[in-house]
Amino acid sequence: MSPKDLLLALLVIGVWGLNFVVIKVGLHDMPPMLLGALRFLLAAFPAILFIRRPQLPLRWLLAYGLTISLGQFAFLFSAMAVGMPAGLASLVLQAQAFFTLLFAALMLGERLRAGNLLGLLVAAGGLLLIGLQGERSMTLAGFVLTICAAAMWALGNIVTRKLGKVDLVGLVVWGSLVPPLPFLALSWWLEGPAAIESALRGIGLDSILVLVYLAFGATLLGYGLWSRLLSRYPVSQVAPFSLLVPVVGLSSAALLLDEHLGALQLLGALLVLLGLLINVWGGWLFGRLRLA
C-alpha cells in the first residue's frame, strides 16, 4: 500500500473511531430517532443529485437501507441514549464480524473455519466479561441494544454479499434514502411530537456540527475513501485496518469523555480484540502450523 493510501486508511479509521464520541455529544441535545433521521437525510441530499444509483433491484436497496442503516443505527443510537458508553459501543459493535460469519453459514451455506470458530469463542468470552461487569459503567439495556445493532450490521453485510460487485458509495448514498421516513415515524411514536419540535427549535451549532460529521464525515467521506481502497487493494489487505476502529473509539472516549474501563472490562476488551485478530489472521496461522 502506498504511503498516501496508508494515510487515507488511517484517516478513515480515525473518522469512524471518533464517530462514537460525536454520536454521544449529539444525543445530549437530540433524541436518538430524530438524530438518525436527520443524519441519513443529509447523507442522501444533495449527494443523490451527483452520484448515480447502483444498478440493482429496489428490494435489495430497501433491504440494505433497512438493515445496515435503519436497523443498526436505531439500535446503536438508542443504546447510547440509555447508557452505553461511546468507547464500549465502538468495541461491542465489532461483534458484527462474528454475526456475519454465523449468518453467512446459515443463509449462504458458507463454511466456518477453525480460526473463525476460535476467534468467535474468544471474543464471546470478552463480550460476556464486559456484560457481567456492565453495571459499573453502562446499562444492561445499552449493552443488549448494541449487540442488536451489531446483528443488524451483519444482516446488512449479508445483503451486500448477495449483491456482489456494486458501487459502494452509490449504495451508501441511495441506501440513505430509505431510513429517514422510518426514523421519523419511530421518533413520532417513541419520542413524541413535542420532543421533535423542541429539538428542532433549539438546534444549535453543536448539533449542526454533529450532523455534518455523521453525514458527510462518517458516512460519505468514510465510505468513499474505503471503497477507493477496496478498489485498489485486496480485501485481505484493507479489512484488517477496521480492527483499529475500537482502539480509536476507546482512546477518544477516554480522552474526550473521561470514560475509563475497569480491570475486568479492560480484560474483556482485550479478549474481543484478540478474537477479531484471530478471525482475520487465524486461517493463515493454522495454515502455517499445518505446514510446519
Model pLDDT, residue 134: 55
Whole-number average pLDDT of the chain: 88
Instruction: Count the domains in the chain.
Output: 1
- Model confidence at 284, pLDDT cuts 50, 70, 90, reads low
The more confidently predicted of residues 105 and 186 is 186
- Above 80 in pLDDT, residue 288? no
- Judge contact between 81 and 146, C-beta under 8 A: no
What is the rounded CA–CA span in Å between residue 57 and residue 217?
28
Alpha carbons 78 and 41: distance in angstroms, whole number: 18
Q: Residue type at 89?
A: A
Q: Could you report the per-residue pLDDT of 214-263, keeping only the tens digit for each?
A: 999 999 999 888 888 877 887 667 777 787 888 898 889 989 999 887 77
* Residue 109 domain boundaries: 3-291
Could you report the per-residue pLDDT of 21-46, keeping only the tens digit for each? 999 999 999 999 999 999 999 999 99
Do 268 and 127 meet the contact criterion of CB atoms below 8 Å apart?
A: yes
Residue 109, exposed/middle/buried by CB under 10 A (0-12, 13-18, 19+)? Answer: exposed
* pLDDT given at position 135: 55
CA atoms of 151 and 29, how far apart (whole Å): 27
**In the predicted model, what is the mean pLDDT of residues 66-95?**
94
pTM for the model stands at 0.89
Q: What is the pLDDT of residue 236?
A: 61
pLDDT digits (tens, 9 = 90+) for 150-185: 999 999 989 988 888 888 889 999 999 999 999 999
Mean pLDDT confidence for 66-74: 96
